[in-house]
Structure 1
Amino acid sequence: MAWDVQNLFRRYAGELNGSLRRRGMSDDLASDITQDAFLRMLTARPRDEADSPRAYLYRIARNLVIDHERRRRFVGMHQIGDDALHQIADPAPGAETIIYDRQRLRIVVKALADLPERSRIAFELHRLEGLTNAEIGQRIGLSTTQTWTLIRDAYRHIRDRLRDV
């Protein structure tokens, strides 16, 4: 028996999710278990082909909830205080990184200013606006190959300037 999982998802996902939330689960956890249940339904078939898809789906979800509870009890969750929370590393860059990046940015801006106008325009259209070489070539009146050469040379120029520092 082949089940149309897409149709079953449309019919039962909201119902299953609501059932899980009524059992005290958070919205995120209920959504995760609902999605996992349908994923399992895609990859496994019931032993008894007479099972209704809805009943099978709810059985999968029940087993996933049991598995989740077992893992939660095994791993355990610990609350940490505000002091420990403040000791966690800040993902923001440090002062040295900011200064270094700003210096490199100034070098790139100066290197772009040193480029011939056509090369600079081609590079900016490629890098900043995301245009293809053919689109840039049309705008500045060059072939795709000539445009690619301008862009390649601009990259090399900028790379060489950054190496000099």
Structure 2
Amino acid sequence: MIWDIQNLFRRHAREIDRFLRRRGHNPDTAADLTQDAFVRLLTATPSSSDDNPRAYLHRVAHNLSVDLMRRERRILNVYLPDEEMRQVADTAPLPEAFVYDRQRLQIVDKAMLELPEKTRRAFEMHRMGEKTMAEVAVELGLSTSRTWTLIRRAYRHLRERLNDDAI
């Protein structure tokens, strides 16, 4: 015997979701448990005793619900207002991220020194000085299209040095 999972999902997913909500689960948890029930159905081997997949789904959903409630009873949940939660969260970057970012900055510094003077100045004025293409073009005495070409070359050069798709 083989179960048609797609057909079973179309016919019973809402029903299982409602069943789990009636058991006291919020909509997100009910949706997760519904998905878990169908994953169990997908990985189960139907036997002659499981000739009613709807009943099997309800039994699996019930068991998943009970297991979740048992786990949640063991965990102490504390409600904190948003302001207090922000104070608990550590906004400092992880040491690995800090080292990684430092290494990438060193690569960018070296790559910037490899650029021709006009290209580097155009890039710095546009990217770091937050000037428009037109403003950079006027200041360097170039056309806007030539300025854009220089800045685009700088971006490409930096991407190549970082071995990355985007900066």
Report the equivalent of 2:38: 38
TM-score (norm 2): 0.56
Report the equivalent of 1:54: 54
CA RMSD of aligned residues (A): 4.2
Which amino acid letter does the alignment assign opposite residue 41 of structure 1? Answer: L
Q: How do 1:103-118 residues align onto structure 2 when only pairs under 5 Å count?
A: 107=109, 110-111=112-113, 113-114=115-116
Report the equivalent of 1:6: 6
% identical aligned pairs: 37
3-state SS of 2:45 partner: coil
Where in structure 1 are there 5+ consecutive unaligned residues? Answer: 128-153, 160-165
Relative to structure 1, is the Cα distance of residues 20 and 88 closer, same or farther in structure 2, using a 3 angstrom cutoff?
same
Report the equivalent of 1:124: 156
Where in structure 2 are there 5+ consecutive unaligned residues? Answer: 120-148
- Post-superposition Cα deviations, 1:128-157, rounded to whole Å, max 9, x if no partner, equal xxxxxxxxxxxxxxxxxxxxxxxxxx52xx
The CA distance in 2 between the partners of 1:122 and 1:87, in whole Å, is 41
Q: CA deviation at 1:106?
A: 7.0
Q: CA deviation at 1:108?
A: 6.1
Q: CA deviation at 1:123?
A: 6.6
Q: CA deviation at 1:49?
A: 3.2
Report the equivalent of 1:146: none
Whether the 8 Å contact between 1:17 and 1:31 is mirrored in structure 2 is yes
